[in-house]
Structures are given as structure tokens and as C-alpha cells.
């Protein structure tokens, strides 16, 4: 039975992680230091859970160039001179479907410190374990009417930041639902990664298809 590990990315304090088994039971939880020791902590999780699938609440990578397309008036339009050009296709899909409000990913040189921690996590894990970008805020909205989706929790290690640890649990749960075929990944048309969701989108708006190849 596979394990599913969710990580909520922080920079000013440690990053919470939660390990769920296939039945949604919390196997382990804890905190990874974002500065010294982050990679060592990830290595340990990979060793202890060789069957793990990871869900990381952070952008997979920065923009390579300003975003050329904007979703306005229910259609794609070229970027205007006043537009900052931030954000990836997957974030636009999340926003257009009103699942959550993304923190738009910028160019690498403009990335916030917590985003840089996320880049490091993806760089460390992506060639070793199935690793997905997740968005707990969007998952909460999708699962608000899904009482069958449950997790069995221990409050061990919750105290330093209960909401952050809960986001790590939901990150793991999202990847479990995706692995079970009940979730989807959205975006990716710009070549900058997708966001995994625990449920399909309720409808197609057209935003799901990027207007050009990367």
C-alpha cells in the first residue's frame, strides 16, 4: 500500500509534513527546516517510504518569461503593456474556476523566499518519487461536499502551527485521491507544471486549454 506525503512550504519557520497511508490514516507528521537540513529531511522520508507519492504546496518552478496570455471576459487575450505577466497556466485555471486565489508565480529573480524553498523541494524529489504540486485552499473548496473523503489524525506535531499542519494533511490527501483516479491535474499548457486537485473541475470554461504551445 502506497504512502502519501504532503508538505506545506514555509520559509520563516519549519515546513510541516504529513504521511498518510492508503486508508487516510496519519502515519507520521513533523517539521522540516527550510534552510539547513531540508534536503537531509527529504532524503530520510524517501528512504523510510520508498513507495511514497509527494504533494507539495508551492510552485514547481518560476516563470521563464512574462506570461503572454491572460484570461479575460471568458477568453484568452494577449498580455497588455500594463500587465505584470506573472502566473502560470495552472494558477489561471484555479482562479478562473474560483477555487482559490493564487499567489502568482513570477520570474526566478522576483520569486519570494518561500517559493524558492518550494523550488528546492521539487528539485530534490522530482527525479526520485512521484511529486505533484497541490493547492490545499482549492482542495478544501472541492471537498466541502464530499463527506466520504476522510483522514484519521493524531495531533502529534500539530502544535507549532495547526493550520499549516492541516494543509500538509490535505496536500497528502489530494495526492491520494489523484492516485486513486478521483482527482485531476490542471494546467500545464505553458510547460510550467500542473496543479493536482482531489476532484475534477465541475465544468469546462475553455481556460483549461492553453492558447499556444510553450
User: What is the predicted pLDDT for the residue at 147?
Assistant: 86
CA-nearest of 158, 119, 149, 125 to 52 is 125
- Return the C-alpha cell found at 165: 499542519
CA distance 69 to 85: 8
Domains of the chain as residue ranges with CATH: 3-64+93-197 (3.30.420)
User: What is the predicted pLDDT for the residue at 35?
Assistant: 87
The residues near 64 (Cβ < 8 Å, ≥ 6 apart) are 107, 192
- Return the C-alpha cell found at 153: 489524525
Q: What is the pLDDT of residues 135-151, one digit of tens each?
A: 999 999 999 988 889 99
CA distance 53 to 33: 20
CA-nearest of 190, 194, 196 to 170 is 196
User: What is the predicted pLDDT for the residue at 213?
Assistant: 57
Amino acid at each position: 500500500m502506497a504512502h502519501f506525503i504532503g508538505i506545506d512550504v514555509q520559509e520563516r519557520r519549519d515546513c510541516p509534513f504529513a504521511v498518510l497511508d492508503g486508508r487516510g490514516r496519519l502515519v507520521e507528521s513533523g517539521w522540516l527546516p527550510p534552510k539547513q537540513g531540508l534536503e537531509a529531511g527529504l532524503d530520510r522520508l524517501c528512504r523510510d517510504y520508498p513507495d511514497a507519492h509527494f504533494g507539495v504546496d508551492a510552485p514547481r518552478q518560476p516563470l521563464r518569461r512574462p506570461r503572454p496570455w491572460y484570461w479575460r471576459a471568458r477568453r484568452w487575450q494577449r498580455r497588455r503593456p500594463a500587465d505584470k505577466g506573472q502566473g502560470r497556466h495552472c494558477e489561471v485555471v484555479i482562479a478562473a474556476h474560483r477555487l482559490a486565489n493564487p499567489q502568482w508565480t513570477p520570474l526566478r529573480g522576483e520569486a519570494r523566499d518561500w517559493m524558492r524553498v518550494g523550488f528546492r523541494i521539487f528539485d530534490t524529489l522530482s527525479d526520485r518519487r512521484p511529486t505533484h504540486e497541490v493547492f490545499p485552499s482549492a482542495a478544501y473548496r472541492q471537498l466541502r461536499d464530499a463527506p466520504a473523503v476522510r483522514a484519521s489524525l493524531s495531533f502529534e506535531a500539530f502544535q507549532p502551527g495547526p493550520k499549516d499542519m492541516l494543509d500538509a494533511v490535505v496536500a497528502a490527501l489530494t495526492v491520494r485521491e489523484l492516485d486513486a483516479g478521483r482527482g485531476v491535474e490542471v494546467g500545464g499548457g505553458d510547460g510550467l507544471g500542473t496543479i493536482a486537485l482531489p476532484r475534477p473541475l465541475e465544468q469546462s470554461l475553455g481556460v483549461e486549454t492553453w492558447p499556444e504551445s510553450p
